[in-house]
Amino acid sequence: MKFLEQTFLALGTGVIGTTLLAMPAAAIDFGFSFENALNGNGTVTGLIRGLEEGTGAATSVEVLSNTAGFGIGEYV
């Protein structure tokens, strides 16, 4: 009986490990907002798109609004 338990434990661990390794990393998008105290005050808002886990670069940064009026657009 002990051999059967060890076999199932080894097989279960292998299946779970293989499944976790096969799962692709999903890209993460998030919004940001900050006060622009150095350049005319006001608020800057935008989106950072395409971050993957780890230290990879974003695919784009989009500035949606800036009360000072400059820098609006998408940076790829």
Q: Which stretch of DSSP H or E encloses residue 13? A: helix 2-22
Look at the chain and report how many structural domains it folds into. Answer: 1
Asked, for residue 61, whether it belongs to a domain, the answer is yes
Range among 16-20, 42-46, 49-53 with highest mean pLDDT value: 42-46
pLDDT digits (tens, 9 = 90+) for 45-65: 999 998 887 677 889 999 999
d(CA 66, CA 14): 51
7 assigned to some structural domain: no
Six-digit token pair at 59?
A: 């695919």
Q: Does a structural domain hold residue 47?
A: yes
Identify whether 45 is part of a domain: yes
Tell whether 5 is covered by a domain.
no
Q: Is residue 16 part of a domain?
A: no
Q: Report how far residue 65's alpha carbon sits from residue 14's, in angstroms, rounded to the nearest whole number.
A: 49
The pLDDT of residue 1 is 54
Q: What is the mean pLDDT of residues 12-28?
A: 61
Residue with tokens 């993957």: 52
Using DSSP, state whether 20 is helix, strand or coil.
Answer: helix
User: Residue 43 is part of which domain span?
Assistant: 25-76
Distance of CA 61 to the CA centre of its chain: 13
Q: 51 in a domain, yes or no?
A: yes
